[in-house]
Amino acid sequence: MAIAVERAGERAGWRPDLSVAVLALLGLFLCGLVLLPLGWLAWYSVTDANGVPTLANFVRLATDPSFAGPYLTALEIAAAVALAACAAATPLAWLVARTDLPLRRTIRMLVTASFVTPPFLGAIAWELLAAPNSGILNQWYRSLFGLDTYDHLFDIYTVAGLVFTMACYTFPYVFVLVANALDNIPGELEDASAILGGTAARTLRRVTLPMVLPALLAGGLVAFVQTLTQFGAPAILALPAGFHVITTKIWSLFQYPPNLHLAAAAAMPLLLLTVLMLRGQQLLLGRRGYTVLGGKSGAPRRLALGRWRWPALAFAGAIVALPVLLPYGALIKTALVGTPSDPLTLSNLTLHNIRFVFVDFSQTRQALWNTVLLGVGAATAGTFLALVVSYVTTRRVVPGHRVLGFLATAPVAIPGIVLGVGLFLAYTRPPLVLYGTLWILLLAFLTIEMPAGYQQMHAAFRGLHPELEEASRIFGASRLKSLWQVTAPLLRTSVVATWCFVFIGVIRELSATILLTTAQTKVVSVVIYDLNESGDLGAISVLGIALLLITFAVVALANRLPVLGRVPTPPRT
């Protein structure tokens, strides 16, 4: 074996390995991707319009009620959404993971659909459902009880309406963390509790819930951060109601006349708060978890619900109907009738909205092309970057590999609206003027989605032994060639999952996009937001359904295609 390896090395000969140079360039690129916009953001926050250093921007933030109010409102809404998301996700996760609930797989699939749904589109769908005058649910309520035109049961244009809508699209984060924690609890622990006389309720309270508590708290923090940094739903529901949250307030500073220095200063506390919240999540998941000592554990036991099976299924169905079934139904109904208030009858069916969007509306084709192009481009480039950086950090290829890992995960603490401000400030001036092009959007999407892609690929690399890569290196392959021809095909499932995750993130993104698009670079999310400003809900419904269909189709196609070819056969020795 040793002789064969030596001869193979002699046949391969000496070839220069450019991998280190390529990885160094990758490190510089990541530095520019993350640090350049943050540097400009920090500089603008402590200077005035003449470039003179000053703290006046922060003084105004602290003393002007028009800024303190949105911050407090955003914090209150984020806390309420986190509590609501935990209250909805925890029992649903327990039913799906630990009981014999019927249709468990369907429930999980519908929760995934709620994650895929962009929150701004969900907010518009709930406008259609719960607007005080024209909402479908309020129309049914008035018709059922014979009430006047202006009587209503629901009003989505309130703080409570905004909390409800945002909770619908943040509870999947809590659900996934709690369900995964429940899946990993050994069944022997609950069996031991039962042997010692514990009832099912006591076992749940004293054994199961304490073990998932860190995941539950971490999920609540994720929901809090997601709500605090979100722009789409507050812009659609809070602004018509007459109040701001901090993300909409930062956006308003870009309207004419723009106040870029104050916008940068307003973004800095949001950035700091996000960093602190995410640090708290890491501490909860990393240091306060519960560890099971022992050998291989048994599968978790499923509790028989008995006569409660169907009431539990009704509860689960009601939970997933709120973010998926009712909003999707409202979008389909609105797309097929002339005006949103028309009932869905055969006489009211029309193709007017579809014809308008795809034939008469000039922005549709360009926006769809930009969206798909940026989605595919960002997903491909982001997956490649995540693959290479994960390889470097897990295999410790170059000195300073920890810095690359830090740069790849640092953007998770940058809210989309903050990143949008930083990119706007960084790329609207020489030497690199990217504003008004698709490149600035691509950089934004790469930065926002890099942490999620890196974490997935990093976890996949940790489960793959490096011996095949070492064999490839012995036979003369460079590091990058070994990565591409040996390692990546072995990780094809993780590569596809990362690609799909980044693509979905690009489709959902509005917070940074709203600050960086121009008339020529609009994507579907921005067009939908603009149409909402003009009140064209029929066209919005058609575009929203098209966006969802594109997302589901591309993800399904990506999961069916072979990734990176077949796994190569190791050379014989």
Rounded distance between C-alpha atoms, residue 230 and residue 234, angstroms: 7
CB 268 within 8 A of CB 419: no
Closest CA to 19 of 329, 404, 509, 480: 480
pLDDT given for residue 300 in this prediction: 63
Tell me the H-state helices in 184-325.
187-195, 200-203, 209-228, 232-241, 246-252, 260-287, 309-320
User: Is pLDDT larger for residue 324 or for residue 183?
Assistant: 324
Tens of pLDDT, residue by residue over 363-395, are 889 999 999 999 999 999 999 888 888 877 877
Q: Which pLDDT band, with edges at 50, 70 and 90, does 291 fall under?
A: very low
- Compute the average pLDDT of residues 159-164: 95
pLDDT given for residue 195 in this prediction: 62
- Compute the average pLDDT of residues 487-498: 77
Rounded distance between C-alpha atoms, residue 502 and residue 381, angstroms: 10
Q: Which long-range contacts (CB under 8 A, 24 or more apart) does 399-402 make?
A: 400/27
Q: Residues 291, 292, 298, 301: what is their CA dihedral angle, to the nearest 10 degrees?
A: -60
User: Is pLDDT larger for residue 15 or for residue 144?
Assistant: 144
Q: Which pLDDT band, with edges at 50, 70 and 90, does 3 fall under?
A: very low
pLDDT given for residue 76 in this prediction: 95
Superfamily (CATH) of domain 349-573: MetI-like (1.10.3720.10)
Which residues, 6+ apart, have CB-to-CB distance to 545 below 8 Å? Answer: 331, 332, 335
Closest CA to 477 of 136, 39, 18: 18
pLDDT given for residue 19 in this prediction: 58
Rounded distance between C-alpha atoms, residue 527 and residue 82, angstroms: 29
Q: Which pLDDT band, with edges at 50, 70 and 90, does 492 fall under?
A: confident
User: Is pLDDT larger for residue 405 or for residue 93?
Assistant: 93
- Compute the average pLDDT of residues 245-268: 91
pLDDT given for residue 43 in this prediction: 94
Rounded distance between C-alpha atoms, residue 367 and residue 518, angstroms: 11
Tens of pLDDT, residue by residue over 213-231, are 888 888 888 899 889 999 9
**Between the CA of residue 153 and those of 42, 319, 333, what are the distances in Å?**
46, 19, 21
Q: What is the CATH number that goes with domain 47-288?
A: 1.10.3720.10
**Which tokens belong to 541?**
């419904």
Q: Which pLDDT band, with edges at 50, 70 and 90, does 397 fall under?
A: low
List, by residue range, all CATH 1.10.3720.10 domains of the chain.
47-288, 349-573
**Which tokens belong to 492?**
């094809």
Does pLDDT of 162 surpass 60?
yes
pLDDT given for residue 567 in this prediction: 36
| Cis peptide preceding 431, ω within 30 of 0 | yes
Q: Which pLDDT band, with edges at 50, 70 and 90, does 202 fall under?
A: low
Does pLDDT of 112 surpass 90?
no
CB 360 within 8 A of CB 545: no
Q: What angle do CA 170, 174, 179 make, to 5 degrees?
A: 140
pLDDT given for residue 497 in this prediction: 82
pLDDT given for residue 14 in this prediction: 44
Rounded distance between C-alpha atoms, residue 198 and residue 343, angstroms: 54
Tens of pLDDT, residue by residue over 41-58, are 999 999 988 889 999 999
Q: What percent of the chain has pLDDT over 70?
A: 80
pLDDT given for residue 257 in this prediction: 86
What is the average pLDDT score of the chain?
82
Model confidence, pTM: 0.85
Rounded distance between C-alpha atoms, residue 387 and residue 382, angstroms: 8
Tens of pLDDT, residue by residue over 82-101, are 999 999 999 999 899 888 89
Beta bridge partners of 66: none
* Three-class SS state of 530: helix
Tens of pLDDT, residue by residue over 325-367, are 999 999 999 999 988 888 888 888 899 999 999 988 888 899 9
Beta strands in 304-380 (DSSP E): none
Does pLDDT of 572 surpass 50?
no
Does pLDDT of 180 surpass 90?
no
Rounded distance between C-alpha atoms, residue 269 and residue 72, angstroms: 12
pLDDT given for residue 285 in this prediction: 58
Does pLDDT of 477 surpass 80?
no
Tens of pLDDT, residue by residue over 496-550, are 888 888 998 898 889 999 999 998 899 999 999 999 888 889 999 999 999 999 8
Rounded distance between C-alpha atoms, residue 480 and residue 477, angstroms: 8
**Which tokens belong to 334?**
């609105």
Amino acid at 490: L
